Structure 1
Amino acid sequence: MAVCETQTGDWRDDKTLAECMRHMLKNEIMCDVTLRVGERRSPIKAHKYMLASRSPVFYTMFEGSMPETGEIDIPDIEENTFNVILVYIYTDKIEVSSSNLTELLYASDKYMLTKLKRECEKTLKRTATSHHAARALQTAYKYHLPDLLQESLQHMKLNTKECLLSEHALSLPKECIDMILKSDYLYCTETDICQFLLKWVKYQCDLQKIELTGQNMRNIVGQTLFKIRFPVVDMDFFSKEVANTELLLRDEIIAIYRSQYGIKTSIFSNSLRKVPIEKRQVHTVKRYTRYSQFRCNNEGTEALIFQADTEIWLKGVTLFFPPGSCTREITFNILDDITEEIYAHKEHVYGDYGGTERLFMFPKPVHVLARKEYTITTRNYTDHMRYGTGCNHSIKVSDCAASITFKNSPMCTGLSNIDQGQFAGFMFCV
């Protein structure tokens, strides 16, 4: 006859703290507060201690000067979303997905759950550099996410026309439209921008269920109207699509037409927006004509003064580099003519690099003003390195209207001067 074994032990055995907390929540052990969640006011029992330990909002709710008593209504968060919030509060596990992202972001913002909010922002950043950038921008503005806001704005500047054609762009608040239109760097024409604004304001009228009149459109657009550079909009489009909408006043329309005959207006900007730096053609200059046949050891500071005859954006520098396996720390500094540092960059190089030169791209282009001297320095911390000889003192770039002149720098304690040394080449755009 078989002996029936009885289960011994306790539910707490071999469980982590998080597992115990979740068990108590799931089985409603010692719960001391009932939350009525969602439109249906579904009852969810929980522990004040746990809620207050993770959220300053819940702490104030239970321990503030006017503490809540009895059941608590939370009608603005649905039950499924709130259960995910509770899992995070009790176990520190975060379950963010595309289906619950917006609701979780709202809840984490409401209850000041910083870690959960950051996780939502990480997920959203994947959409900041896609055709959904407008949606990411709107979310970042609404929930005060500065990093996401800047990333989505930057992507929209580089892909303006594509992003403005997105369905999400029409629902952008006016404040976000202002952020986009105040930029001097957009990758589209002013006619594209004007066309989008007309669609946007018509959509807003429909959304607010108001008549599509010139005055209503103007009220919705507000001061954003003056960020459109109407004098550089295609005049055929302007005449057919803008001038007859009553969006603009008679004096404004006259001023725009007069601007086509050289009479500038102070009402709207007459300047064209510029192509974003990242979208411009890249130019390179090679400073040396040959390189040394022997290698040298050098741990000094390589420095060189350079000057461009037109405004450029320096995007990278080519250095001579030893062949074979190497692990190096490379530092770059760029100083202006009063030796004030305007840029610094450090990069670690690992592995085998078989060439004589290596291009180092800067994470962010450096703005170089016309006819102003700058000093570039590097500490290479390397040995067995070749260097350039027969260097040109001045180089005219063949595929653009720019030339760069070089001078010796008193900061140099290495090999570099106008005739030889490091800094094999420069990469830039104009």
Structure 2
Amino acid sequence: MYSDDSIPTDPMSMKTKHLLRHAVTALLLLASFAALPAEQEQAENDWQIDNATVTEVPFFRQLIDGQWFERRPRNRGTFLEVRATLKVAGDGSFGPSSLATAGLLAGAGDVPIGAELLAVGVVRTNCLYLRAPIGAGNETFAKLGAGNEIAILRESDANGPLFLRTRAPSLELCMVFELPDTPPSPLRWRFAERTIPLAAGTRSPAESEAAASDPLDSAASLASSPSVPPLWRRAISSPLLWTALVLAALALVGGVALQRLWRRHRLANGSGSHADSSSALDIPRVGAAHQPTRFASVEPEAGAGHLQFHDAMAALRLGDWERANAVFGEAIAVGLTPTFEAGAWSLRGEAMLNDGDLVGAATCFLRALSSPGVTVEAALPAASQLAAIYRQLRLRRDAVKMEDVRARINPFAGDLGPQRLELIASLARELKHKKRTRMLARLIP
């Protein structure tokens, strides 16, 4: 009898078995790595669009700073509203998907038509649209209940593209496009690197009635970023807060009365040496004439003051703010065509702002917006900078009006650059300091 240890073993067969085992292991690893990208790609593309329709609409409503604003086409354009059901597998997470590639295609071609994407939203009886976020790294989102949400975000660059992100197994998505002319037929929708055919859609009677009613009623289920956090809600219900508000109101009324008494006393004594020119420190406010809804096209000729206009433009490019301000004034006095006059007021505001005159710049920007020949090129920088000026001066209603004008022109326009915002903030602080000094001068006999 032989023991197992005494059985002879072939060294070549043992080596062959080891090599075979290593080869099988390597093949399994390669197969798993090859399957991984395919699974990831399948997970990324595991979504579909159903019931995509396009409808011509006379207006749409957009949420801006907690208020709903109605927007209508400019320059006799056409609004096309695309609706579709976005279905996403898994946890329902979709995106971020770039909105820069979203567009409309005519017929079977791959060239997009001249349709500008104005807003993205979600269906709640009718379509409710969110505003594009301002500034880099920000987002605008809405809670849809049951842990679902829709968000528009802007990444690293303040003027960079916008992205759409959603989290919902099924979501009724809306996009509104503006066309300058009559839309062709048929249309296809390009979204998230896919091309989707569009059927003609119509508004139901319930949707038309909801669109004509107060948008806040139909938006009750759309919980946007809360404007009043729970802590403030508890503070509002506190009796101590209301007592403090009453005392503050009494102190304010007493202070105003005391100021008037001192002013009468100084006028009676003939003392006016401390008075400043109120017009030099009082910022002009926004009126109905400063909120244009239609914009003209730039005229080919500048008018009699074209030489002064071009000289002022050259001074502006060279950073000679004082000369640019003066020569733009000369060009307006000599005579410009309506569109060039609006542009001159807007550019003159730029020069005065760079020269440190905040009140003068705001006055020029408002003159540009109220000009009968105001163009998009003149209105957009004027409204954008006025919105920042009013924000810094805590004039929220005026700021919202200017942001609404900017949104009519381009809702996805980025915010001003950091240097411009810092300049406006610095001039606003200086203006507040001067006004406080003037008030103290009036109180001191």
TM > 0.5 fold call: no
Which structure has greater helix proportion?
Answer: 2
After TM superposition, the score normalised by the length of structure 2 is: 0.25
After TM superposition, the score normalised by the length of structure 1 is: 0.26
